């Protein structure tokens, strides 16, 4: 028996290099939750093997801009000439259907979401230390030294915004971070505001 009818919106964010994509994949691998990943919308062209509606919703620039005007994004950003965004209607439909929906987005996008849906659950994935973050960025081997420093500076700014989030989850190991996130999602379903809306109202006759 579920205590709440509507799903929880979970916004997973954190500095790039912290490993939030890996943690997110682990959560979905082991999740017994009714949890869905929110598919983003983009104007960039599909890469080989990418499927529309699975990897991204692929749309034209005109379609994307029309959606912006109509206020149909929870958040969006432009990145090297292309737009990326979270379709609001899709997320709302899934939440209403009782599914928990997880977004994995940049810090800037997360703060946009907070303005629109302050009741969502905001989780910041943090490195165990700044040294370890540096280590992880270097070890990817895809960045030259100048870009590593640029990413570290950006990470420092983003970590400085961690207080805007409801939870801070340290990614010391992927399993630890996954366990922390799963506990947070479970706990959301027992939050009294939510329970009072569903089971509290219907079964216990509260808040009427």
Whole-angstrom CA distances from 102 to 86, 138, 145, 152, 189 are 11, 28, 33, 26, 14
Shortest approach of a copy of itself to residue 83 CB, angstroms? 30
Shortest approach of a copy of itself to residue 32 CB, angstroms? 10
Q: In this complex, which beta carbon is closest to a copy of itself, that of residue 52 or of residue 190?
A: 190
Residue written as token pair 């104007």: 43
Residue count of the chain: 208
Shortest approach of a copy of itself to residue 165 CB, angstroms? 5
Shortest approach of a copy of itself to residue 105 CB, angstroms? 17
Shortest approach of a copy of itself to residue 186 CB, angstroms? 4
**Ramachandran angles phi, psi of 43, nearest 5°:** -95, -5
Q: In this complex, which beta carbon is closest to a copy of itself, that of residue 109 or of residue 127?
A: 127
Q: In this complex, which beta carbon is closest to a copy of itself, that of residue 116 or of residue 187?
A: 187
Q: Is 117 helix (H, G, I), strand (E, B) or coil?
A: coil
Q: In this complex, which beta carbon is closest to a copy of itself, that of residue 35 or of residue 184?
A: 184
Q: In this complex, which beta carbon is closest to a copy of itself, that of residue 99 or of residue 168?
A: 168
Residue written as token pair 């907070």: 114
CA-based torsion, 26, 29, 31, 36: positive or negative: positive
Whole-angstrom CA distances from 3 to 134, 181, 188, 194, 200 are 42, 19, 10, 8, 8
CA distance 129 to 164: 19
CA distance 78 to 185: 30
Name the site residues for a copy of itself (rule: CB under 8 A): 1, 3, 123-124, 126-130, 159-160, 162-163, 165-170, 172, 179-180, 182-184, 186-187, 189-192, 195-196, 199-200, 203-207
């Amino acid at each position: 028996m579920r205590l709440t009818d509507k799903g929880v919106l979970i916004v997973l964010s954190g500095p790039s290099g912290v490993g939030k994509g890996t943690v997110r994949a682990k959560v979905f691998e082991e999740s017994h939750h009714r949890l869905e990943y929110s598919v983003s919308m983009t104007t960039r062209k599909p890469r080989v093997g990418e499927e529309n509606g699975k990897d991204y919703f692929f749309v034209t620039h005109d379609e994307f801009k029309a959606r912006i005007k109509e206020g149909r994004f929870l958040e969006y950003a432009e990145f090297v000439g292309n737009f990326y965004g979270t379709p609001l209607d899709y997320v709302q439909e899934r939440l209403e259907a009782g599914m928990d929906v997880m977004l994995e987005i940049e810090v800037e996008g997360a703060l946009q979401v907070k303005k629109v849906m302050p009741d969502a659950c905001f989780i910041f994935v943090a490195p165990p230390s700044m040294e370890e973050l540096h280590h992880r960025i270097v070890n990817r081997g895809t960045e030259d030294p100048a870009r590593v420093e640029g990413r570290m500076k950006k990470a420092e700014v983003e970590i400085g915004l961690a207080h805007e989030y409801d939870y801070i989850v340290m990614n010391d190991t992927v399993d630890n971070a996954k366990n922390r996130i799963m506990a947070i999602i479970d706990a959301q379903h027992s939050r009294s505001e939510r329970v009072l809306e569903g089971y509290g109202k219907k079964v216990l006759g509260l808040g009427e």
